[in-house]
Amino acid sequence: MQPLLDVRNLTVAMPAGRGAAPVRIIDDISYSLEDNQTLGIVGESGSGKSMQALALLGLLPPRSRALVHGEVMFQGHNLLTLSQNALRAVRGAQIGMIFQEPMTSLNPVLTIGRQLAEPLVHHMGMSHARARRRAVDLLSLVGITDAARRVRQYPFQFSGGMRQRVMIAMAIACKPKLLIGDEPTTALDVTIQAQIIALIRDLREELKMSIIWITHDMGVVAAMADRMQVLYAGKIMEMGPVEQVFSAPRSAYTWSLLQSIPGRGQRPREPLFQIAGQPVDPARRPPGDPFAPRNPFATARCFAQAPPLRPVSPDDSRHLVAAWYDLPRCLAELDKGNAP
């Protein structure tokens, strides 16, 4: 049985000026997503998370002159080879997307109801009257009270959390098979964030859709994802079931991200764990493992040769890591007081 989404050797490169080789922002990544499954994609800012999502849907701006290679198979069709008209028929109808900032994604001069009705008219052929009635139902579905009145209002009359709920309503309006959330809870306070996560989980069960959830928050991934992908400098450093990756990380980058989460017993003035150094500049990517300059467990091979993504053991093909070192052994040595 074919997966719902099958990404094969996806590469996104940007022109680097006269005579220079294109700069790889997404570097030869592959993964798949099954029906009714949630994949969390995590990593620091600049790791390529949003770029990956935009490339999947053909939303990279033309002026960027991005070079996209590979295959993105969705229900048997390669999205990267579809015409613009065919791709527009997929976006919104079969794949919905929630963008980072709802205030810049919503049109400030159109009512919420009109913006919700547009994909219903365009993709599902509804009449304008029926689409307006459905817009009211969608607002109610995402937890906005008095929807019949609010549907006639404008984005500025909604709070940040409510605007994000409107964006979710737009993304699921046509009951897509796949929903992509590009850091949609980043600008929200923790209470609203928890409500949005609970809402998405409920909608997943109700609509039987798959989800790709992009975030820098490991706690959000733990709360809602089945599998996770750890991205750094456009490369997958680790990928596998959430519980397995959290309990037994095999990449030093994953381990560092987990160490950066404040512990439950953290004292008020106790210093937080920090990852040494700065994220790598894609235009100055090191020849080996891109995380090697920041990795306390890096070996000479890490600096010279890029590790492939491979199973952590012959008995488990679901948990993959790109590393030459043995992280559990390195951590054991660290516990003994030996320098890595």
**In a domain? residue 259:** yes
User: If you write DSSP's letter for every residue of 250-286 in order, what string do you get?
Assistant: -SHHHHHHHHTSPPTT--TTPPPP--SS-PPPGGG--
36 phi and psi, to 5 degrees?
Answer: 55, 40
Ranking 218-222, 316-320, 336-340 by mean pLDDT, the lowest is 336-340
User: If you write DSSP's letter for every residue of 15-31 in order, what string do you get?
Assistant: --STTPPPEEEEEEEEE
**In a domain? residue 135:** no
- Residue from 92, 142, 93, 139 nearest 113 by CA: 139
**In a domain? residue 340:** yes
Question: What b/e sequence results for 171-197 when a residue is b if at least 16 CB atoms lie within 10 Å of its CB, and e otherwise?
Answer: bbbbebbbbbbbbbbebbeeebbebbb
**In a domain? residue 207:** no
Total domain count for the chain?
A: 1
Mean pLDDT, range 214-226, rounded to an integer = 89
**In a domain? residue 288:** yes
Structure tokens at 296: 């306390």
- Residue from 340, 297, 337 nearest 321 by CA: 297
pLDDT at res. 265: 67
For the chain, give the percent of residues with pLDDT over 90. 56
pLDDT at res. 217: 85
Q: Rounded CA gap, 132 and 314, in Å?
A: 55
Pairing of strands 210-214, 77-78: unpaired
Mean pLDDT, range 276-299, rounded to an integer = 90
Q: Is the pLDDT reported for residue 340 higher than 60? A: no
Q: Is the pLDDT reported for residue 277 higher than 70? A: yes
**In a domain? residue 334:** yes
The predicted-structure confidence for 4-38, as pLDDT tens digits, reads as follows 999 999 999 988 877 778 899 999 999 999 999 99
**In a domain? residue 131:** no
> 319 lies in which domain range?
249-340
Q: Is the pLDDT reported for residue 66 higher than 70? A: yes
Choice between 332 and 103, residue whose per-residue pLDDT is larger: 332
**In a domain? residue 336:** yes
The predicted-structure confidence for 38-58, as pLDDT tens digits, reads as follows 999 999 988 999 999 999 999
